[in-house]
Amino acid sequence: MPIDQKLGISILRHVSRTDFHRLASPKNLLQASLAAVSILVFLAPLENLIALCRSSAEYSYIGLIPLVSLSLFYIERRKIFREVHYSPGLGIFLILAGITVASAGAIYSSRLGSGSELFLKILGFVVIGIGGFALCYGRRASRAGLFALLFTLLLVPLPHVVMAKPLAAIQHGSADVASFLYSLSGIPVLRNGLTFFLPRLTLVVAKECSGIHSATALFITTILVGHFALKPAWQKGLLVLMVFPIISFTNGLRVFILSMLGNYVDMGFMHGNLHRKGGIIFFSLALAILALATRLLRGWSHGKKDSLSIEAPRG
C-alpha cells in the first residue's frame, strides 16, 4: 500500500476516534438519553403533530423546524459549546415547567379543544427539551444558543383560533392592495368586503389566496435573516413586522394581475399555471423586498455609527 494512502487512513482513524470520544462524552450521552425518553413519552402527541402537518397547509412549515434548528446549532456550535458545564438548577426547573404544561394539556383535555390540547403538550415537550439542554450544557451555553433554543418553539402548533387572526389580516390586506391597484389603474370595480365585481368576472379573495405557505416561509426567513444580518433588537423586530405588509402587497399584486389577465385577455388565466404555480414568482418579489429592507436597516445602523464617531470629541 502506498505511503500517502496509509497516512490518509491513519488520519481518518484518528479523526473518527477523536469525534467518537467527543460525541460519546457524558454530557452528550445524557442529552441523547433525555431526548430519547422525551420522544417516547410524547410519541402520541408527536404523531398527531406530524398528521397535522400533512393534513393542514397552515402547519406544513413545522416539518422544516427540526432541520433548521439543528442547522443553527451546527453553524453556531463554536460559540454555543465553547464552555459547557452541568446546570441542574436551571435545567430541572425548565423540565418541571415543561412537565407541568404538558400535564395541564392532558388533565384538561376534555375541556380543551384538540388544537389547544396539542398546543400545550408540544409546548411542554419543547420546554423539556430546552431544559435538558440547559441541564447538560449549562447557563452560558444556553445563553449563547438562546436563539437556536427559542427557534424550536416554532414546533408548537398554535390553535386554529390564534392562527386564523394573522391569516385574516393578510387576506384583508391583500384585498386592500388589490382594491388600491384597481382604483389606480382606473378599472371599474365594485367591492363588497373580500369580493370584487369586475365587468366579466366576480373575484373572491379566499383563504387560499392569503398565501399561507409564502407567509410562513417569509416569516421564518425573516427571523433567520434578522438574527444573522442585524444586531439591534428593534431592527430585528421591525423586520419581522414587515412580513405582513410585504405578503399583503405581493398577494394583492398577484390578485390584481390575474384578474386583469382573466378579465381582459383570457379567462383561462384564472385557472392556469400562473394561478396554480405562479406563487414562486411573487414570493421571489417578497424576498427581494425583504433583502432591500434588510440592507436599508443595516445601512441606517452603519450610518448612525459613522455619524456618532465623527461627532465624538477628540481628546
Residue pair 222/261 in contact by the 8 Å Cβ criterion: no
Looking at 124, 156, 188, the residue that finishes a domain is: 156
pLDDT at 308 over 70: no
Domain presence at residue 41? yes
39: in domain: yes
pLDDT digits over 95-125, tens only? 999 999 999 988 887 777 767 889 999 999 9
Length of the chain: 315
Residue type, 305: K
C-alpha dihedral, 266 to 272 to 275 to 278, nearest 10°: -110
Last residue of a domain, one of 156, 174, 189: 156
- Which pLDDT score is estimated for 132? 96
Band (pLDDT 50/70/90 cuts) for residue 94 is: very high
Claim to verify: residue 268 and residue 124 sit in the same structural domain: no
**Helix 243-264 crosses helix 279-311 at what angle (to 10 degrees)?**
140
Tally of domains within the chain = 2
Q: What value does the mean pLDDT of the chain take? A: 84
Q: Please check whether residue 158 is in contact with residue 118, taking contact to mean a CB–CB distance below 8 angstroms.
A: no
Count the helix, strand and coil residues of the chain and give each as a percent rounded to the nearest 5. Answer: 80, 5, 15
Q: Is residue 310 part of a domain?
A: no
Q: Report the share of the chain in percent with pLDDT over 90.
A: 51
Q: What percent of the chain has pLDDT over 70?
A: 83
pLDDT (tens digit per residue) in 127-169? 999 999 999 999 999 999 999 999 999 999 988 888 888 888 8
Task: Assess if residue 194 is contained within a domain.
Answer: yes
CB-facing half-sphere around the CA of 72: CA atoms within 13 A: 22
**Same domain, yes or no: 69 and 184:** no
Q: Are residues 98 and 220 in the same domain?
A: no
For residues 283 and 167, state if they share a domain: yes
Q: How many CB atoms sit inside 10 A of residue 112's CB?
A: 17
Instruction: Give domain status of residue 313, yes or no.
Output: no
Residues of the domain holding 30: 3-156
Last residue of some domain: 125, 156, 187? 156
Q: 177 lies in a domain?
A: yes
8 found inside a domain = yes
Question: Could you report the per-residue pLDDT of 248-280, keeping only the tens digit for each?
Answer: 999 999 889 888 888 788 776 667 666 667 778
Query: In this structure, are 132 and 8 located in the same domain?
Result: yes
Has residue 9 got a pLDDT over 50? Answer: no
The residues, ordered by sequence, that sit 6+ positions from 41 with a Cβ below 8 Å of its Cβ are none
Q: What is the pLDDT of residue 305?
A: 56
pLDDT for the residue 307: 52
- Regarding whether 137 and 103 lie in a shared domain, the answer is yes
pLDDT in tens, 17-61: 544 456 668 889 999 999 999 999 999 999 999 999 998 888 889
Do 152 and 168 share a structural domain?
no
pLDDT > 90? residue 309: no
pLDDT at residue 300, rounded to an integer: 78
pLDDT of the residue at 303: 57
Among residues 86, 69, 73, which one has the least CA distance to residue 140? 86
Is residue 168 located within the same domain as residue 295?
Answer: yes
Mark whether 146 and 167 lie in a shared domain. no
Q: Does one domain contain both 120 and 196?
A: no
Task: Assess whether 184 and 143 both reside in one domain.
Answer: no
Say yes or no: 97 and 169 in one domain: no
Show the cell assigned to 253. Answer: 399584486
Query: How close are the terminal C-alpha atoms of the chain, in Å?
Result: 69
Q: Is residue 209 part of a domain?
A: yes
Question: pLDDT-based confidence at 11, cuts 50/70/90?
Answer: very low
Residue 249 and residue 207 in contact, taking contact as beta carbons nearer than 8 Å: no
